[in-house]
Amino acid sequence: MSVKIPEGVKKLFRGKNFGHVATLLPDGSPHSTAIWVDVEGERIVFNSDESYVKVKNLRRDPRVTISIIDMESPYTRAMVRGKVVAIRNQGAGDHIERLASKYLGDEKFTHLPNERRVIVEIEPEEIYSSGM
């Protein structure tokens, strides 16, 4: 069952704050990596390359956790546990450029050869936050 994202948590995801996404490897062990994140409506979103381990993990098992801290105030933080409800190519190129602008400013995003960008949409099921 999805839950509504509180405005303070949305603010964290809209800000220039890095998230960490945890997925499950085929043997059940965790895999965690830093990501650029955003929020669209009531879903958490991030962008990745189709070939990355986290995307392969999420295609096999949609359970996911993302943690995020406020870069200016590290005790302001949130953790979102949920399920991936979509992995889509549509709009992924424009989306990574918007994220690059947010995180890099004027610096240009470097694309990898043969890159296949996807947007991962997460529907939150549990949200924990503090410092807000």
Domain CATH for 38: 2.30.110.10
- Residue 84 DSSP code: E
In a domain, 43, yes or no: yes
- Identify the band that residue 84 occupies on the pLDDT scale cut at 50, 70 and 90: very high
Q: Are the C-beta atoms of 125 and 1 separated by less than 8 Å?
A: yes
Q: Model pTM?
A: 0.93
* Domain residue limits at 105: 7-130
Residue 67 pairs in a beta bridge with 20, 79
Average pLDDT over residues 97-113: 85
Helix (H, G, I), strand (E, B) or coil at 32: strand
Lowest mean pLDDT among 25-39, 53-67, 72-86, 107-121: 107-121
In a domain, 1, yes or no: no
In a domain, 2, yes or no: no
Number of domains in the chain: 1
CA 23: distance to chain centroid? 11
In a domain, 66, yes or no: yes
- Asked if the model's pLDDT at residue 114 lies above 90, the reply is no
